[in-house]
């Protein structure tokens, strides 16, 4: 749930960073316009983005339970690592996305502004995910340590 909430916040703040970076790049548009070109692209994009965030949140939770790294630091590090690992896939958006060149989908791979936007968005996502799971993590982490001690 925390990953979906963090991804929804990211999507809601896209218009702000688009103005700050003076770049039209939108993850919601990339996802939504990949599945529909009609009026429902924004809703589809938000739903897919929230789903991606939820899946990332599950992966983060699995790592969080097995490590002693502080929640916010772990979530931020994982989000930025994902960004750096996956940003080169922008090549495929630039070449094959059915709506490339439309609003929200500028060329990405060699676009420093879009890279900056994606970096800030992933940092925001990671910090929110870490904050949303931080309270829970104290009790969960203690339980995980107890289980590890019992199994050792």
SS (H, E, C) 78-93: HHHHHHHHHHHHHHHH
| Rounded Cα–Cα distance for residues 152 and 93 (Å) | 47
Q: What is the pLDDT of residue 7?
A: 95
CA dihedral 130, 67, 65, 79 (to 10 degrees): 40
Does a structural domain hold residue 152?
no
Domain assignment present for residue 86? The answer is: yes
Which class for 7: exposed (0-12), middle (13-18), buried (19 or more C-beta within 10 A)?
A: buried
**In the block, residue with structure tokens 């949303």:** 132
Dump the DSSP string for 13-56: HHHHHHHHHT----HHHHHHHHH--STTHHHHHHHHHHHHHHHH
Structure confidence at residue 82 (pLDDT): 97
Q: Please list the pLDDT of the chain residue by residue as tens digits (152 residues).
A: 999 999 999 999 999 999 999 999 999 999 999 999 899 999 999 999 999 999 999 999 999 999 999 999 999 999 999 999 999 999 999 999 999 999 999 999 999 999 999 999 999 999 999 999 986 655 555 655 565 566 65
Reported residue count of the chain is: 152
Work out the number of other CB atoms within 10 angstroms of the CB of residue 74.
Answer: 20
- Number of CB atoms found within 10 A of residue 123's CB: 14
Q: Is residue 110 part of a domain?
A: yes
Give the count of beta carbons closer than 10 Å to the beta carbon of residue 8. 16
The pTM (predicted TM-score) of the whole model is: 0.85
pLDDT in tens, 51-95: 999 999 999 999 999 999 999 999 999 999 999 999 999 999 999
In a domain, 38, yes or no: yes
Tokens 């991804």 locate to 7
- Tally the domains of the chain: 1
Alpha carbon distance 131, 128 (integer Å): 5
What domain range includes position 82? 2-147
């Amino acid at each position: 749930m925390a990953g979906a909430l963090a991804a929804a916040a990211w999507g809601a703040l896209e218009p702000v960073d688009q103005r700050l970076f003076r770049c039209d790049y939108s993850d919601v548009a990339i996802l939504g316009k990949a599945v529909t070109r009609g009026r429902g692209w924004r809703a589809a994009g938000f739903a897919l983005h929230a789903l991606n965030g939820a899946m990332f949140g599950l992966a983060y939770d699995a790592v969080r339970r097995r490590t002693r790294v502080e929640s916010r630091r772990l979530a931020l590090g994982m989000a930025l690592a994902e960004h750096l690992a996956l940003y080169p896939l922008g090549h495929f958006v630039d070449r094959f996305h059915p709506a490339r060149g439309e609003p929200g989908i500028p060329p990405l791979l060699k676009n420093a502004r879009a890279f900056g936007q994606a970096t800030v968005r992933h940092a925001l996502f990671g910090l929110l995910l870490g904050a949303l799971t931080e309270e829970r993590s104290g009790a969960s982490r203690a339980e995980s340590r107890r289980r590890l001690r019992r199994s050792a």
